[in-house]
Structure 1
Amino acid sequence: MVQTRRSTAVAASFPLTSPDSHPESSKRRRTALAGESDNGASTKEPPRRKKRTKTEDKPLTEDFPVRVSGSWKIGAHVSAAGGVENAVRNAAIVGANAFALFVKSQRKWDSAPLSAESVDAFKSRMQEFRYSPKHVLPHGSYLVNLGNPDEEKRQKSFNCFLDDLQRCEQLGLELYNFHPGSTVGQATKEESIALIAECINNAHKMTKYITTVIENMAGSGNVIGSQFSELKEIIGHVEDKTRVGVCLDTCHAFAAVRASFSVSQTFHRDFRDTTSQQKLDGISAFDTEVGLSYLKGLHLNDSKAALGSKKDRHENIGLGHIGISTFRHIVSDPRTQDIPLILETPTFEATEIWTKEISALNRLSLIDDSEVLEAELSLVNEITSLVRSHAAKKTEKASKTEKASKTEGPSKTRTRKRNTTEDQDHDSDCA
């Protein structure tokens, strides 16, 4: 077992509170907000509203969950709010041995460059918390569509894509995961696949070493990448095949199953082609059609939607249609060792759900076959209990917010609803 060390330097860089070093008196606050000086005279400049800051306590490193030393590197897509360096600490907080992050806002075309201080802090924390770059899988922007036949729009996507790759290299990271794109109904899939590969080739020439990792998709609309054959075709057009790979998303694979496939309720069984009657588990099917050497990571997500639904609806481990047995097979399969296995499951604003899921998956990777059924049931019950508790809290909070919003006006109501929306389908046609 490996336990993260406490660091005075890290603790010092994360103060527990953010007190105002220059507090005003109550009278001064009132007069300032009213636009008056102490003697009642009008001020020349309009008042500035004081920025609200969070002051909640952050856990000390000694309070972090124990990180299991194992062959399967299980983690989650954690927040990088406040700076990319915070993602490293957030991964340690949930007991992750791997993690994903956005290296800039995933919903903006342009972002400010990474500061030298942020880059240095990220690298320092990677060492402090003992994370390897090969176990970090940054996720690309949802805006990018490298398959768009419109040259101007595709160039805009490419610029955003390239910027992400360059940021990853600044941070010393080795992998970059992205959604391949869409035809937007204006090209054939073959044409869009060629455009995606062309963008990858150009990006490789403009970067040093980063590996571009294509994610399989759930299959809605005109999206590219829901079938292994499409991933294989993209890779076939890439010139430097040492710098391209695939991230398999279990929810997407479950949702994208073709009608010509007869598949059981689990990802690890019965990818059966009706023409050849060849029976393969999901990873073996990938190995046969694409090649295991291209498998660079997995997204571990159960599915709220049924098999073949083409809907990208993530569910907590063991609570969806895929089932916990599938994930036990994945985290005990030697072919998934030493690559990032990343949770993108709902947290209901409570990251301890990821802590529970990571712990459960680590236990499943080590369990004796004779204890499987009892252990699976126990772990599902633990996850279910925690998820229900936090889901109820979030529902209650949303209800209170909605009631408060009604008294504040319709514009604030719209904003708050948008901020609390879950289960957005990012497997739709891209820009």
Structure 2
Amino acid sequence: MYIGCHLSTSKGFKNMGKVALEIGANTFQFFTRNPRGGKARKLDLKDIEGLKKIMEENNFGPLLAHAPYTLNMCSQKEETREFAKMIFADDLERLEQLPCSLYNFHPGSHTGQGADKGIELILEILNDVVKEEHTTTILLEVMAGKGSEVGRTFEELKRIIDGTKYPEKFGVCLDTCHIYSSGYDIVNDLDGVLEEFDEILGLDRLKAIHLNDSKMPFNSNKDRHECIGEGTIGLDAIINIINHPKLKDIPLLLETPNEIEGYAREIKLLKDLKK
């Protein structure tokens, strides 16, 4: 089982690898830059080599880079879309230098224009920025459906992927809190949800899982993460997820409201519950 959590890049990539080992993780997620956007720090090649060594010596799974939350490719505002395009393009180039094969982003909010227009605008940027030579797999995250979010259904994600020039470079990240809040009942019908995903997108597209409990009820369209076993999804459903045969090779990344000590406890708990 590949399991980790979100770690800060403030002390460098090698340090993130060390912290991951200290808390029992064998993968992790990190923001490519400040989660609210802005300029990314210069890459330190020696630091990156230190991380690569840790990963090789400790059988790490794929790392997940996360785009900043401010990245909105389908805003009504042209300047917001241009900012998203610039950040996205820069991130893809930087990731070519990192031992990170996955890059996750929120599709965005159409801000009242409608999902169809939102998808059209997202595709304009993706088809302009993503190049054949890029080696990173780009993941669209399933969203909770609050407000005017695009990507609240498997069908919307399929429309985006199918509309790209290089669909083979795209995958999906499932967030358990998001999909439960958006109306996919992973508590009472996990098999059915996975079958629906497979029929619409194909399970080979599923490359990462954000493993979170939820503070909000089923189908609430609210994005409020909770610690494992303390929310409306509950521990039994989490156990079913981590032990499901179709999900056994998918990296699990915690985004629960925790500090490092809390993540260490959750990782140990999940390892103990893994069959």
Same fold (TM over 0.5): yes
Residue 270 of structure 1 is aligned with which of 183, 186, 189?
189
Deviation at 1:178, TM superposition (A): 0.7
Letter in 1 for 2:63: V
Structure 1 residues 122-131 or 136-145, which shifts more? 122-131
Name which structure has the greater RCO, CA cutoff 8 Å, separation 6+: 2
SS in 2 for 1:322: coil
Q: Do the aligned partners of 1:88 and 1:126 also contact (CA within 8 Å) in 2?
A: yes
| Corresponding position of 1:363 | 272
Residue 66 of structure 2 is aligned with which of 124, 139, 147?
139
Q: Do the aligned partners of 2:181 and 2:219 also contact (CA within 8 Å) in 1?
A: yes
Does residue 245 in structure 1 map to residue 171 in structure 2? yes
SS in 1 for 2:123: helix
| Corresponding position of 1:406 | none
Distance 2:3 2:192 in 1: 21
SS in 2 for 1:212: strand
| Corresponding position of 1:32 | none
Letter in 2 for 1:299: H
Deviation at 1:125, TM superposition (A): 2.9
Query: Measured at CA, do residues 289 and 206 of structure 1 come closer, stay the same or move farther in structure 2, by a change above 3 Å?
Result: closer
Residue 88 of structure 1 is aligned with which of 17, 34, 38?
17
Distance 2:36 2:222 in 1: 21
List alignment gaps of at least 5 residues for structure 2.
Answer: none
Does residue 99 in structure 1 map to residue 28 in structure 2? yes
Deviation at 1:195, TM superposition (A): 1.8
Structure 1 residues 211-220 or 199-208, which shifts more? 199-208
Distance 1:334 1:319 in 2: 24
Equivalent pairs, count: 275
Distance 2:110 2:122 in 1: 10
Query: Measured at CA, do residues 104 and 124 of structure 1 come closer, stay the same or move farther in structure 2, by a change above 3 Å?
Result: farther
List alignment gaps of at least 5 residues for structure 1.
Answer: 1-71, 272-279, 367-431
| Corresponding position of 2:50 | 121
Residue 235 of structure 2 is aligned with which of 319, 324, 347?
324
| Corresponding position of 1:111 | 40
Deviation at 1:139, TM superposition (A): 1.1
Query: Measured at CA, do residues 223 and 254 of structure 1 come closer, stay the same or move farther in structure 2, by a change above 3 Å?
Result: same
Distance 2:11 2:132 in 1: 28
Residue 305 of structure 1 is aligned with which of 216, 224, 232?
216
Structure 1 residues 144-153 or 245-254, which shifts more? 144-153
Deviation at 1:313, TM superposition (A): 0.8
Distance 1:319 1:340 in 2: 22
For residues 191-206 of structure 1, what are the structure 2 equivalents within 5 Å?
A: 191-205=117-131
Question: Percent identity at matched positions?
Answer: 39
Q: CA-atom RMSD, angstroms? A: 1.9
Distance 2:74 2:67 in 1: 15
Summarize deviations over 1:380-413 as a string: whole Å, max 9, x none.
Answer: xxxxxxxxxxxxxxxxxxxxxxxxxxxxxxxxxx
Q: Do the aligned partners of 1:147 and 1:182 also contact (CA within 8 Å) in 2?
A: yes
SS in 2 for 1:342: strand
Distance 2:202 2:132 in 1: 26
Q: Which has the larger radius of gyration?
A: 1
Deviation at 1:268, TM superposition (A): 4.4
| Corresponding position of 1:336 | 247
Q: Do the aligned partners of 1:250 and 1:300 also contact (CA within 8 Å) in 2?
A: yes
User: What is the TM-score of this pair, normalised by structure 2?
Assistant: 0.93
Deviation at 1:269, TM superposition (A): 2.7
Q: Do the aligned partners of 1:219 and 1:310 also contact (CA within 8 Å) in 2?
A: yes
Distance 2:27 2:44 in 1: 24
For residues 6-45 of structure 1, what are the structure 2 equivalents within 5 Å?
A: none
Letter in 2 for 1:283: L
SS in 2 for 1:297: strand
Query: Measured at CA, do residues 301 and 343 of structure 1 come closer, stay the same or move farther in structure 2, by a change above 3 Å?
Result: same
User: What is the TM-score of this pair, normalised by structure 1?
Assistant: 0.61
Query: Measured at CA, do residues 249 and 73 of structure 1 come closer, stay the same or move farther in structure 2, by a change above 3 Å?
Result: same
SS in 2 for 1:282: helix
Summarize deviations over 1:174-218 as a string: whole Å, max 9, x none.
Answer: 110111111122x22111112212322323217521111000111
| Corresponding position of 2:135 | 209
Q: Do the aligned partners of 2:32 and 2:68 also contact (CA within 8 Å) in 1?
A: no
Q: Do the aligned partners of 2:175 and 2:210 also contact (CA within 8 Å) in 1?
A: yes
Deviation at 1:254, TM superposition (A): 1.0
Summarize deviations over 1:79-101 as a string: whole Å, max 9, x none.
Answer: 22222332211211110122111
Q: Do the aligned partners of 2:155 and 2:200 also contact (CA within 8 Å) in 1?
A: yes
Distance 1:201 1:125 in 2: 35
For residues 36-75 of structure 1, what are the structure 2 equivalents within 5 Å?
A: 72-75=1-4
| Corresponding position of 2:193 | 282
Summarize deviations over 1:248-281 as a string: whole Å, max 9, x none.
Answer: 0000011111xxx8x5xxx14338xxxxxxxx53
| Corresponding position of 2:89 | 162
Letter in 2 for 1:296: K
Query: Measured at CA, do residues 332 and 317 of structure 1 come closer, stay the same or move farther in structure 2, by a change above 3 Å?
Result: same
Deviation at 1:326, TM superposition (A): 1.0
SS in 1 for 2:28: strand
Summarize deviations over 1:197-243 as a string: whole Å, max 9, x none.
Answer: 23223232175211110001111111111111111111110121211
